[in-house]
Amino acid sequence: MSEAQTPAGPPVVSLKKINIRYGNHHAVRDVSLDIARGEVVAMVGPSGAGKSTLLRAINMLETPSSGTLHVGDFTFSLDHRLSQKELLALRRSTGMVFQQFNLFPHMTVEKNISLPQMRVLGRSRAEADKVTARLLERVHLADKAKAYPARLSGGQQQRIAIARALALDPKVMLFDEPTSALDPELGLDVLEVMRELAADGMTMIVVTHEIAFAAEVADRVIVMADGEIIEQGPPDQVIRNPQLPRTQKFFRAILDRH
Can you give the binding site for another protein, defined by CB under 8 A? Answer: 59, 61, 84, 88, 91-92, 94-96, 98, 100-106, 115-116, 119-120, 148, 150-151, 161, 164-165, 168
Rule CB under 5 A: say whether 52 interacts with Mg ion: yes
Query: What does the alpha-carbon distance between residue 46 and residue 55 come to, in Å, rounded to a whole number?
Result: 15
Residue 11, burial from CB neighbour count under 10 angstroms (0-12, 13-18, 19+): middle
Q: Quick one: what does residue 10 bind among Mg ion, ligand ATP, another protein, none, with the CB cut-off 5 to 8 Å set by partner type?
A: none
Q: Quick one: what does residue 49 bind among another protein, Mg ion, ligand ATP, none, with the CB cut-off 5 to 8 Å set by partner type?
A: ligand ATP
Query: What does the alpha-carbon distance between residue 4 and residue 15 come to, in Å, rounded to a whole number?
Result: 19
Nearer Cβ to ligand ATP, position 118 or 254?
A: 254
Q: Quick one: what does residue 25 bind among ligand ATP, another protein, Mg ion, none, with the CB cut-off 5 to 8 Å set by partner type?
A: ligand ATP
Nearer Cβ to another protein, position 43 or 103?
A: 103
Q: Nearest distance from residue 247's CB to another protein, in Å?
A: 30
List helix spans (H) across the chain. Answer: 51-58, 84-92, 109-116, 125-138, 154-166, 184-199, 211-217, 235-240, 245-257
Residue 199, burial from CB neighbour count under 10 angstroms (0-12, 13-18, 19+): exposed
Closest CA to 51 of 11, 20, 6, 89: 20
Using the rule CB under 5 A, give the single segment among 50-58, 76-84, 87-95, 236-244 that binds Mg ion: 50-58
Beta bridge partners of 33: 15
Nearer Cβ to ligand ATP, position 63 or 124?
A: 63
Beta bridge partners of 95: 173
Q: Nearest distance from residue 61's CB to ligand ATP, in Å?
A: 10
Nearer Cβ to another protein, position 70 or 92?
A: 92
